[in-house]
Amino acid sequence: MDFGQIPTPSYVIDEGQLIRNLEILKAVEEESGCRILLAQKAFSNYCEYPLIANYISGTTASGLYEARLGKEEMGKENHVFAPAFKSEDMDELVQICDHIVFNSIAQLQKYKDICLEHHIGIGLRINPECSTQGDHAIYDPCAPGSRLGVTASNLQKALAQDPTVLDGVEGLHFHTLCEQNADDLATTLAAVEEKFGTYLQQMKWLNMGGGHHITREDYDRALLIQLVKDVRKRYALEVYLEPGEAIALNAGYLVTEVMDIVDNDIQTAILDASAACHMPDVLEMPYRPPLRDSGEWGEKPYKYRLSSYTCLAGDIIGDYAFDRPLSIGDRLVFEDMAIYSMVKNNTFNGIPLPSIYRMKADGTCECIRKFGYEDFKNRLS
């Protein structure tokens, strides 16, 4: 693929890589007997939903809009979880969702009847209070005081007050991982079984959330498959996994151009893309996105700080080194840009949204969508 032909800035979805990921996930479904759903929060490029539908079981959503998108564009099994639901949204969700997962006993009690009327599979999110991620606390739903999921002690208290609280609940849901391997799932599952094992006996399904980096090269898929099979057998239930990242891992690029190079003691290349607008995880996580044909400072002779054309001083993508000096007009290609990028885009500073291209498995590219001034203006008033 010749990225030189693509106008900048543009995202390019790599369909060949997407298919490689989906083949892995389909094999996991087949070998373990679990059902895998796309967590749309990470990747909502619905031009690819018909393709994704050929490999996995459906979609999961964080609220009404994602649930609608999953229903309209994929039309397979459709689940939703949110920390809280509005009544008017619930009226619509019960029409389009198969499973609805609640975050608290109060939410469960508020909406149990309408869900039962519509034959929705009701789930309760649990919090096993088992942190397995050290370095990014903002992605740890098991951090002390976390609002996400019912703890074992709160569930016991609720049952002591009202022994029918779990009547009608057919599944438990936990989501505690982020970019993690199957060993951390094993640790988490042990905590879930220890604290919630008695309730699992009466459940039809267990949803193990996302954060499973299943399509990463070093991921221990044999262990995942074993864990799923064991749990299915031990409690006689269905297992769901809802990865976001793993579906489109390494399946996209952000193609940008060097607009200027400023030398105020540090050589800074100004790009027509922005961390704040187009790759916010770079600032939030924070992390340094992979860049094609580059290295760390010190690894290669020509050092540049890559930044953007917003006015935010801290809109810095990272420090990179190259084999040759950069020139104005050069193309730079950021990698692993399909996930948590397009779904998080914004037009801060009036910066244009990058176009979206699709690269087919044979290397040919087509433009899926271009954005313009109207997309900036229409979100404001």
Ligand X SMILES: *Cc1c(COP(=O)(O)O)cnc(C)c1O
Query: Least distance (Å) from ligand X to the CB of residue 169?
Result: 17
Query: Least distance (Å) from ligand X to the CB of residue 333?
Result: 23
Judged by beta carbon, residue 70 or residue 210, the one nearer ligand X is: 210
Query: Least distance (Å) from ligand X to the CB of residue 212?
Result: 6
Judged by beta carbon, residue 9 or residue 289, the one nearer ligand X is: 289
Query: Least distance (Å) from ligand X to the CB of residue 228?
Result: 16
Could you say which residues in the range 311-350 bind ligand X, by CB under 6 A? none
Query: Least distance (Å) from ligand X to the CB of residue 206?
Result: 13
Query: Least distance (Å) from ligand X to the CB of residue 341?
Result: 12
Q: Could you say which DSSP state residue 32 is in?
A: H
Could you say which residues in the range 23-82 bind ligand X, by CB under 6 A? 39, 41-42, 81
Could you say which residues in the range 194-253 bind ligand X, by CB under 6 A? 209-211, 242-246
Please name the residue ranges forming H helices in the chain: 15-32, 49-53, 64-73, 87-96, 105-117, 152-161, 182-200, 221-235, 245-248, 275-278, 281-284, 373-377
Could you say which residues in the range 244-303 bind ligand X, by CB under 6 A? 244-246
Q: In angstroms, what CA-CA distances link 147 with 126, 141, 371?
A: 11, 8, 37
Judged by beta carbon, residue 6 or residue 251, the one nearer ligand X is: 251
What is the CA angle 99-86-339, rounded to 5?
Answer: 60
Which residue from 275, 227, 219, 264 is spatially nearest to 246, judged by alpha carbons? 219
Phi/psi of residue 148, nearest 5 degrees: -95, 110
CA 84/CA 149 separation, integer angstroms: 11
CA 95/CA 114 separation, integer angstroms: 11
Radius of gyration from C-alpha coordinates of the chain: 22
Asked if 288 contacts 318 with a C-beta cutoff of 8 angstroms, the reply is yes
Asked if 33 contacts 229 with a C-beta cutoff of 8 angstroms, the reply is yes
Judged by beta carbon, residue 42 or residue 337, the one nearer ligand X is: 42
CA 331/CA 259 separation, integer angstroms: 10
Total number of residues that touch ligand X (CB under 6 A): 14
Q: Residue 256 is which amino acid?
A: T
Could you say which residues in the range 7-26 bind ligand X, by CB under 6 A? none
Query: Least distance (Å) from ligand X to the CB of residue 209?
Result: 5
Angle between helices 152-161 and 105-117 (to 10 degrees): 70
Judged by beta carbon, residue 129 or residue 319, the one nearer ligand X is: 129
CA 61/CA 175 separation, integer angstroms: 13
Could you say which residues in the range 164-193 bind ligand X, by CB under 6 A? 175, 178
- State yes or no: 281 annotated in a binding site: yes
Could you say which residues in the range 86-125 bind ligand X, by CB under 6 A? none
Q: Binding mask 139-158 vs ligand X (x if CB under 6 A, - otherwise)?
A: --------------------
Judged by beta carbon, residue 37 or residue 152, the one nearer ligand X is: 37
- State yes or no: 296 annotated in a binding site: no
Judged by beta carbon, residue 207 or residue 294, the one nearer ligand X is: 207
Point out the annotated binding site: 245, 281
Point out the annotated binding site for substrate: 245, 281
The residues binding ligand X (CB under 6 A) are 39, 41-42, 81, 175, 178, 209-211, 242-246
